[in-house]
Structure 1
Amino acid sequence: MRGIGLMCAAIAVFTVMTALIKAAAVPAGQAVFFRSFFALPVIGLWLWAIKDLRDGLKTVRPWNHVIRGTAGTMAMGLGFAGLAYLPLPEVTAIRFATPIMIVIFAALILGEKFRAVRMVAVFTGLIGVMIVMWPRLSFGGGDGALFGAVVTLASAALAALAQIFVKSMAGTERTAAIVFYFSVTAAVLSLVTIPFGWVWPTGAQLALLIGAGFAGGVGQICLTSSYRFAEASTLAPFTYTGMIWALIIGYFVFSEVPTMPMLLGAGLVILSGIAIVLREQALGLKKTAQRKLMAAGK
């Protein structure tokens, strides 16, 4: 229950962070810098508090952090760019495609088996994404909305790719190192976008951006800590609580009324994601039982 509580808190904080970025209305690269740079003190203090600041940041694969950080930074930047053109709930719904794309990339890159249940779930999820995006792809929402939908979907794909890199590093790199070096990489890479239109923020914008950075750090701590108390397969379905927060914040803060295609598509994406999680959990239990049987037979 503690792990589930921390996961739900992390998702709520991340949704608030996204809303702060949307409200600040600054260029995406500038938003990435503030989100990453001001998360570093929060993450650093947390690592110091749990006495993991020195050993936790040791790495044997520094270039893997750079590759993962680059993919993650691009995903973050494109996601923030989409906020300027689409309602918050719609961006959230499209970003829910990430777990589905992880399954696809895991099969293509890591060679994981693409079983029937996964295939059906992925197909269902992709239909859901298409339903959410269809009003934009049919040019019903204008060119800006179409651009927002495309960059948000690209953001989901790059986020999935970043998670594949994280999975490949799991055996040698500590979670603290992955979290910390991602923020460092994102903060540094975001500076490349300065010539492309950074603005001098007003006092209100600065407060929103710094708040987003702190929220990002707190959310990352809650997310990381949740895995200390519960299995990833148990926690994964609760990531979809972000849709609830996005709908509430979108309606009351940005006056964004959800459409029926968005709700229907989001529902299909969420159902497919949960199906994938439950299938992975069942396979994990089966493998554990097989290992116990093999150990008992020796």
Structure 2
Amino acid sequence: MRPIAPLIAFAVASLGIAIFSSMDAVMKGLVIALGAYNALTWRMLAGVVASGVPYALSRPPRPSRAAMRLHLVRAAVSAVMAFLFFWGLGRVPMAQAIALSFIAPIIALFLAAWLLKERITRLTLVATALAFAGVLLILWGQSHAELGEDAFWGALAILGSALCYAWNIILMRQQSLLAGPGEVAFYQSLFVAGLFLLAAPWLLRVPSVEHAPALILAAILATASLFLLSWAYARAEANYLAPTEYTGFLWATFWGWIVFGERVSVFTVAGAALIVGGCIIAARRRDQAPVADTEAQLP
């Protein structure tokens, strides 16, 4: 693989997050109109086409068994993660949803200790306490904003999604070392769509044609984001690129205000600052990075 400047990988990852945050705005509208299951299933089916055409035209080699296993595992994790996140996103403001999802890098440290046998330090515990205080502050602010009971359950769903995303951070780095961006984008869409279709006989409904442009746009944005993030994570370490996730808060604030007229409370901003601060503290020690760049950790 041709070496590149780390700053370029950082910029590409930041662009990937910006595109993904824009997709979140499109998906929130679809979730409100169609429900989380139908919005996600049809977006994934559109994503299979959006990612499959360029992948097929590239005449790719057959994926290795190790890569295929990672595609399947990440798809299973992503299916749960996506459903919980978008179900919650339909019930809480976008900025609040993204702020709560920032807890994922902290959770990833504990998953890394369990899965990769990394050491938990006192610094990690301090960072965890700070991030947890941020989560509590956001939830406390939510209780005073009179958003309703649905918003509380939506916030819990997003925290559950963050737990899945923490594992996804580890899988994304491992996957990028075994497969190219086009392969990752295609199989991610294909396998997640397949998992959602298991419930199709009971839950799937054909949306009206007026929702087709938004579904296609969401699929294209998701595919582009997956491609860019996979490209960046194959060229820089996960702990270096992790801060790009925090730019999503700015995009969520922007799109939430422009598209849905959402205002960001001081509790959400303060809570996000505490969570981000905790993540930055946790990342100060390079040997505590969620994923080490070694083939020994690949399944």
- TM-score, length-normalised on structure 2? 0.83
Letter in structure 2 aligned against 1:266: A
**C-alpha offsets along residues 85-106 of structure 1, whole Å, 9 cap, x if unaligned?**
1011111111111111111222
Whole-Å separation in 2 of the counterparts to 1:227 and 1:108: 22
Contact 1:30 1:190 in 2 (8 A): no
Whole-Å separation in 1 of the counterparts to 2:175 and 2:214: 33
Q: 1:109 aligns with which of 115, 133, 139?
A: 115
Residue 158 of structure 1 and its aligned partner are, at CA, apart by 1.4
Paired position in structure 2 for 1:291: none
User: Which segment drifts farther, 213-222 or 104-113?
Assistant: 104-113
Whole-Å separation in 1 of the counterparts to 2:203 and 2:218: 20
Letter in structure 1 aligned against 2:87: A
Report the number of matched residues: 282
Residue 123 of structure 1 and its aligned partner are, at CA, apart by 1.6
Secondary structure of 2:284 counterpart: helix
Whole-Å separation in 1 of the counterparts to 2:202 and 2:94: 24
Percent identity over the alignment? 26
Spell out the pairing of 1:1-298 with structure 2 (5 A cutoff). 1-24=7-30, 25=32, 26-47=34-55, 53-55=60-62, 57-60=63-66, 62-136=68-142, 140-166=146-172, 173-176=178-181, 177-195=183-201, 197-280=203-286
Secondary structure of 1:60 counterpart: helix
**C-alpha offsets along residues 82-136 of structure 1, whole Å, 9 cap, x if unaligned?**
1111011111111111111111222233321001222211221111112112244
User: Which segment drifts farther, 100-109 or 245-254?
Assistant: 100-109
Gaps of 5+ in 2: 1-6, 294-299
**C-alpha offsets along residues 197-245 of structure 1, whole Å, 9 cap, x if unaligned?**
4443233322111110110000111112223554433322122111111
Contact 2:50 2:220 in 1 (8 A): yes
Q: Which has the larger radius of gyration?
A: 1
Whole-Å separation in 1 of the counterparts to 2:64 and 2:109: 29
Contact 1:39 1:214 in 2 (8 A): yes
Whole-Å separation in 2 of the counterparts to 1:229 and 1:64: 18
Contact 1:19 1:249 in 2 (8 A): yes
Letter in structure 2 aligned against 1:148: G
Secondary structure of 2:224 counterpart: helix
Contact 1:127 1:265 in 2 (8 A): yes
